[in-house]
Amino acid sequence: EALHVDDNAPRWKPCSLRVHRQFYKDWWSSQVKEVTQILRKLPVLFYNGADDFICNFAGTDSWLRSMEWEYQEDFRRARRNPWKVDGETKGFMKRADNLRFLVVFNAGHMVPMDQSVVALEMFRSFIYGDMQ
């Protein structure tokens, strides 16, 4: 109700085969060009759950470090800094210019389901531009 979703809209479910099929072709094509173009103009957040074995954070970090863009060296040299919610360390973040990469502790592939309060703060701070 608060989101004003049409009553006739399909019910939400964590995994949708219909959505999966629509994005399947993108699995096999590089998105580096698109990401680097977006990074020139807008902040971008990549995140992983630390316990995700499907899309693990080491792979995301490797992809981001190898992506050729203006601030590539800055990102490669960036430290993993503790990321806190309500004073408690809930993950670590690397950042360079418009790129932020967050790894959320005690979360797997579905970070918002595993760590809902932490995920809400992640989205809130990113959207409002005060992500530390």
- 111-127 pLDDT, tens digit each: 999 999 999 999 999 99
Contact indicator for 107, 49 with CB cutoff of 8 Å: yes
Whether 61 and 46 have beta carbons less than 8 Å apart is answered as no
Phi, psi dihedral angles at 88 (to 5 degrees) = -105, 140
* Residue 111 neighbours by CB distance under 10 Å: 23
Model confidence band, residue 17 (pLDDT cutoffs 50, 70, 90) = confident
> For residues 6 and 25, what is the distance between their CA atoms, to the nearest angstrom?
29
- The percentage of the chain sitting over the pLDDT mark of 90, rounded to a whole number, equals 73
Q: 112 and 124 in contact (C-beta within 8 Å)?
A: no
Residue 93 CB partners (closer than 8 Å, separation 6+):
80, 81, 83, 100, 101, 102, 103, 131, 132
**Cβ pair 102, 47 in contact under 8 A:** yes
pLDDT value at position 56?
A: 93
Average pLDDT over the chain, rounded to an integer: 92
Query: Measuring CA to CA, how many Å separate 115 from each of 11, 79, 108, 111, 118?
Result: 22, 24, 9, 6, 5
| pTM of the predicted structure, to 2 decimals | 0.85
Give residue 103's pLDDT.
98
Q: Above 80 in pLDDT, residue 57? A: yes
Integer-rounded Cα Rg, in Å, for the chain is: 16
